[in-house]
Structure 1
Amino acid sequence: MRAKRFTLVDVFSTEAFRGNPVAVVHDAGGMPEQDMQALARWTNLSETCFLLPSDDPRADYRLRIFSTLREMPFAGHPTLGAAHAWLAAGGVPKGQQLVQSCAVGLVDVRAEHAQLAFRAPPLLRAGPVEEALLAGILGAFGLQRHEVQRAQWVDNGAGWLALMLDDRQRLLGLAPDLSTLHGVPIGLFAPWPGGDAAFEVRAFIGGDAVPEDPATGSLNAGLARWLLEEGMAAAPFAMAQGTAIGRAGRIHVRGGGADLWIGGACVTRVDGQLAL
């Protein structure tokens, strides 16, 4: 039986067990892809990720990220959780900031304000959502068309489609039927006047074992880019996520354009060995 270091990191919250957990397998070189996917199904977390030797001389390591259903080309909270685990295990970046290699390319990660933050990758797909597709999504969420202020693709590798509502309480009360979404990741958000964050966010992945994600770096990165480019927000600001399911995620947005950073707290909750 082989053993590898295994870390569970709570990402995007300083409150114990109220962020988004990610599993990190260290030194995963040589581990078969089918075993990675099997482990991701077994942990039943939104993502499980695997640290491997770098495949690019500019990067400090390579990261592979798996949901319970498939490999993800990019995801935000696994990026931060893996960086935290790598550093805690004694990793030393080659340069002033850490560089991760993953399927979408190189992703910079830096420490700031006692947090870790990743440089948001560019959007792979943007623009308005087709009305026919939007109609099916509205039905799944029990929303009327007039309740959605705007609908936009904010896909930076995870496939996100976003809906903007104007009523936070309506957002928090949604109980969607995810069976009709066919695996399309849907993010919804609304302003939070007077709150400790500028916006409240919810994230759903139809057909996955984790139907609502507690705190989502990739979605918030896409939302932040959209909000900043359209002049609907000004950095720095924070996004709240997980409220409806008893979590307390806080995702922090700084900078903009090519220098847009998405950050939050990372805390190790479990550090041990995985038997293979």
Structure 2
Amino acid sequence: MTYRPFLQVNVFSTDPLLGNPLAVVLDADGLTDARMAAFARWTNLSETTFISKPDDPRADYRVRIFTTLGELPFAGHPTLGSCHAWLAKGGVPKDGEIVQQCGIGLVRIRHDASGLAFEAPPLQRDGPLEPALRERVRAGLGVAVDDLLDAQWVDNGPPWLALRLRSRAAVLALRPDYAALDGLMVGAFAACGEGDAVDAAFESRAFIAGEAAPEDPVTGSLNAGIARWLVREGGAPERYVISQGTVLGRAGRVQVERVGDALWIGGACVTCIEGSVRL
């Protein structure tokens, strides 16, 4: 076993205790899949990442992303948190833009005075949910029929499906039946109204049945998929903020910006724990 640099990072909030935590192991070359999976189960966080040298010469580094259940090809808060850790440990991009290699391929990341943002990957599956699946998810989340406006696939690596609800209050009132949602990654969101008194245009929640912590505090991949849905249908401005984590006592803020054909998903990152881990 070898001592490797380790950081625990808070993502999507400037307050270290109000975002989504991420464990990051650097210099992870040589670790087996089994060892990475075991450490991810041990941290018991929504995701743990492992940074190593890239296989693709265009990339600056490679990241492997594990939940407590298995590996993901892509995820949003691990992308930003891993990049933050890589930069903090002296990483220097080959060009002005950072390029991450992960399970879905190459992901562009920009780093400027406003922080970090990744380019939302294209959707691998989109369009309306099948009627039976739509009803299963509606019932599993406890959504009143009148509160459900639409339901679509927003699969960008993680197989997210998302429900658009009538109000922020309906999103905050969700009480999921995880047994009914077994095997699904489900998000729900709604536009915020003037009376909601929140500094965001939308409120979202994310649920992964079977995880140790089945409600994710703040979710980059889901909100990236929702952003592609909204932009496609003209349902959002070119720049806006999504609030997430309210029910869990968090204050996550996901920043979305459209620049030409690219959608950038950003947020704050703060190092909370730094040291080494023996793996």
For Structure 1 versus Structure 2, the TM-score category normalised by the shorter chain is over 0.9
Amino acid at match of 2:102: C
In structure 2, C-alpha distance between the alignment counterparts of 1:174 and 1:257, rounded to whole Å: 35
With the length of structure 1 as denominator, give the TM-score of the two structures: 0.98
1:112, distance to aligned residue in structure 2 (A): 3.3
Runs (4+) of structure 1 moved beyond 6 Å?
A: none
Contact in 2 for aligned 1:40/1:48 (Cα 8 Å): yes
Report the 3-state secondary structure (helix = DSSP H, G, I; strand = E; otherwise coil) of the residue aligned with 2:230.
Answer: helix
Structure 2 counterpart of 1:227, from 225, 230, 235: 230
In structure 2, C-alpha distance between the alignment counterparts of 1:147 and 1:27, rounded to whole Å: 48
Match of 2:16 in 1: 16
Match of 2:99 in 1: 99
Match of 2:271 in 1: 268
Question: Is 1:209 paired with 2:209?
Answer: no
In structure 2, C-alpha distance between the alignment counterparts of 1:18 and 1:165, rounded to whole Å: 25
Report the 3-state secondary structure (helix = DSSP H, G, I; strand = E; otherwise coil) of the residue aligned with 1:79.
Answer: helix
In structure 1, C-alpha distance between the alignment counterparts of 2:81 and 2:235, rounded to whole Å: 29
Question: Is 1:5 paired with 2:8?
Answer: no
1:88, distance to aligned residue in structure 2 (A): 0.3
In structure 1, C-alpha distance between the alignment counterparts of 2:210 and 2:140, rounded to whole Å: 13
In structure 2, C-alpha distance between the alignment counterparts of 1:27 and 1:179, rounded to whole Å: 38
In structure 2, C-alpha distance between the alignment counterparts of 1:237 and 1:100, rounded to whole Å: 25
Contact in 1 for aligned 2:126/2:154 (Cα 8 Å): yes
In structure 1, C-alpha distance between the alignment counterparts of 2:107 and 2:17, rounded to whole Å: 27
With the length of structure 2 as denominator, give the TM-score of the two structures: 0.96
Contact in 2 for aligned 1:9/1:22 (Cα 8 Å): yes
Question: Structure 2 matches for 1:125-164, cutoff 5 A?
Answer: 125-164=125-164
Match of 1:65 in 2: 65
In structure 1, C-alpha distance between the alignment counterparts of 2:259 and 2:140, rounded to whole Å: 33
Compared CA separation, residues 25 and 52, structure 1 to 2 (3 A): same
1:170, distance to aligned residue in structure 2 (A): 2.0
1:166, distance to aligned residue in structure 2 (A): 1.1
1:146, distance to aligned residue in structure 2 (A): 2.5
> What are the Cα deviations for residues 169-226 of structure 1, in whole angstroms up to 9, with x where unaligned?
1211211111221221100001112331000000000111121101100001000111
Q: Could you tell me the percent identity over the aligned residues?
A: 56
Long gaps (5+) in structure 2:
none
Amino acid at match of 1:177: D
Compared CA separation, residues 257 and 68, structure 1 to 2 (3 A): farther
| C-alpha RMSD over aligned residues | 1.1
Amino acid at match of 1:233: A
Matched pairs, number: 276
Question: Is 1:237 paired with 2:237?
Answer: no
Structure 2 counterpart of 1:248, from 243, 248, 251: 251
Amino acid at match of 1:44: N
Compared CA separation, residues 256 and 204, structure 1 to 2 (3 A): farther
Structure 1 counterpart of 2:201, from 187, 198, 213: 198
Amino acid at match of 2:100: Q
Contact in 2 for aligned 1:199/1:238 (Cα 8 Å): yes
Contact in 1 for aligned 2:203/2:244 (Cα 8 Å): yes
> What are the Cα deviations for residues 89-143 of structure 1, in whole angstroms up to 9, with x where unaligned?
0000000111000110100111134310001100000000011011111221112
